[in-house]
């Protein structure tokens, strides 16, 4: 699976990719990349059909490991354009890209 840096990932989102955060809701609520759609890894097998097949998917988690697993699952289940964000939300935040912080 392809991997991109946070700045490359931000450009993908600007170009129409769907940013999919696979962390759990409590992690997402604390801090997530702006425009990220929450679909926890624990629910992926049951809900992956909710994701569009006609748009690139950019997977993100905390550091990149869970999103890589999720991306591999999607590739094995008929999704063709799946990319992992290297370094995850930690790297996205460190790069100064837009985030939403919980209360």
Asked whether the beta carbons of 5 and 84 are under 8 A apart, the reply is no
Respond yes or no: is residue 83 known to be catalytic: no
What pLDDT is recorded for position 103? 59
Q: 58-96, pLDDT tens digit by residue?
A: 999 999 999 999 999 999 999 999 999 999 999 999 999
Asked whether the beta carbons of 95 and 29 are under 8 A apart, the reply is no
Distance CA 67, CA 87 (A): 10
pTM higher than 0.85? yes
Distance CA 102, CA 3 (A): 27
On the question of pLDDT at 101 being above 90, the answer is: yes
* Annotated domain spans of the chain: 2-101
CATH of domain 2-101: 3.40.250.10
Catalytic residue among 44, 57, 61, 68: 61
């Amino acid at each position: 699976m392809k991997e991109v840096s946070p700045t490359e990932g931000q450009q993908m989102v600007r170009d129409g990719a769907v940013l999919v955060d696979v962390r759990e809701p409590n992690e997402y609520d604390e801090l997530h990349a702006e425009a990220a759609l929450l679909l926890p890894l624990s629910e992926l097998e049951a809900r992956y059909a909710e994701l569009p097949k006609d748009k690139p998917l950019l997977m993100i988690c905390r550091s990149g490991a869970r999103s890589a697993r999720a991306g591999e699952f999607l590739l094995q289940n008929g999704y063709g354009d799946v990319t992992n964000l290297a370094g995850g939300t930690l790297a996205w935040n460190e790069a100064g890209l837009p985030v939403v912080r919980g209360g």
